[in-house]
Amino acid sequence: MNVFERVFTTLGHKEPDRVPFFLLLSLHGAKELGLSIRDYFSNPDNVVEGQLRLRRKYRHDCYNGFWYAPLEVEAFGGEVIFVEDGPPNSGNPPIRDFAAIDLLRPPVIADHIKLQDVLQSISRLKEASGNDAPIIGVVMSPFSLPVMQLGFERYLDLMFDHPALFEKLIAVNQEFCINWANAQLAAGATAICYFDPVSSPTIIPKKRFLETGFRIARQTLAQFKGAAAIHLASGKTLAIIDEIVQSGAKVVGVSCKEDLGSLKRACAGRITILGNLNGIEMARWSAKEAETKVRDAIFTAAPGGGFILADNHGEIPWQVPDEVLLAISEAVHRFGTYPITR
């Protein structure tokens, strides 16, 4: 099987030749090229080269089109702060006053150089790789982007106390999100990962999710011109798994804070699981621990297909050593061949 066949077979809830695994690496590309994180993201060619080297090194089953989380809020006028040893952070929120929401318009993708850089990295990656593996594009959900647009605290105040302004902000974000997802698909992304941590029951009550995040996800994903995954970035999913299935997503990113066996039973035949290695602990795992964790996850969730091994957050921290990533890869190749046998 080639990589596409492997991934599509598991998405069809059948068993491929081996468990597909997505090492969702973004910052590690800078390490491969010997560049600072800031310099790495200054040129789309760096990202292309970084992704190609990472896949050659770790033999995983995707390219990651994701650059950094504040990219989209940067297009809304937000500040991006680079650090030496971690993901770029969102700085002061660009919407300082709720009244400004009335005047807010979706950024035009063609007008923003960083968004254009990401699109170029995706199209060049597709060409340079010979289209030998899926390229995962990423969008922040219209419902979760306001955490960076307003700050988390003020966003919760908006959501709970100012419903009309909340809906206006969501409408602007939704238009942008759909355009941004479709631009990445047009550039060559195979599918879109819709990051929506605020929808997790970890963050908001299920009742509120049903009135907000669920409705927004369903409307938004329906307008993507390609397949989508939903990722709650380490947030719990089990209590809303039926709604995630109904949203139209084909894949769900799941948390290491929930039992993988329970998740497998809830998702089997309905939606593919992406997860759930603990990315924070991973930074201090030994090679042996990595092997054990991978083996346990495979034995629990891989039988029958519908499973892609990955970390549980959607981004592997800078601090995770190469040796651990190599051990994860080795363990998938050793224990992940179908049929899965203990």
Partner 1 sequence: MPLKKYTGRADTLTSTLQNQIGSFCQSLLSLDRVGIERLLQEGTLNTDPSRFIETIVVPALERIGSDWENGIVSLAEVYMSSRLCEELLEEFLSAHHIARKAQPRIAIAVLQDYHMLGKRMVLSVMQSAGFAVLDYGHVDVDGLVVLMLKDRIDIILISVLMLASALKVKELRKKLTLSGSKAKIVVGGAPFRFDQRLGLHVEADAVGTFASDAPGIVEKLAADSGLTQEVHL
| Residue ranges that bind partner 1, judged by CB under 8 A | 81, 83, 85-87, 89-92, 151-153, 156, 159-160, 201-205, 208, 234, 236, 239, 256-257, 278-281, 283-284, 317-319
**Nearest to partner 1 of 77, 86 (CB atom):** 86
Minimum distance from residue 152 beta carbon to partner 1 (Å) = 4
**Nearest to partner 1 of 83, 110 (CB atom):** 83
Kindly tell me the number of DSSP H helices and DSSP E strands found in the chain.
16, 9
d(CA 280, CA 295): 18
Minimum distance from residue 87 beta carbon to partner 1 (Å) = 7
User: Which amino acid type is present at position 58?
Assistant: Y
**Nearest to partner 1 of 173, 312 (CB atom):** 312
The encoded tokens of residue 125 equal 């990656």
Minimum distance from residue 110 beta carbon to partner 1 (Å) = 29
The encoded tokens of residue 119 equal 């699109």
**Nearest to partner 1 of 86, 110 (CB atom):** 86
d(CA 61, CA 38): 26
**Nearest to partner 1 of 93, 305 (CB atom):** 93
Closest-CA residue to 26 (of 102, 153, 118, 155): 118
Backbone angles phi, psi at 88, to 5 degrees: -55, 140
Minimum distance from residue 262 beta carbon to partner 1 (Å) = 12
d(CA 313, CA 37): 20
Minimum distance from residue 67 beta carbon to partner 1 (Å) = 16
d(CA 10, CA 310): 14
Angle at 48 between CA 187 and CA 31, to 5 degrees: 145
**Nearest to partner 1 of 44, 70 (CB atom):** 70
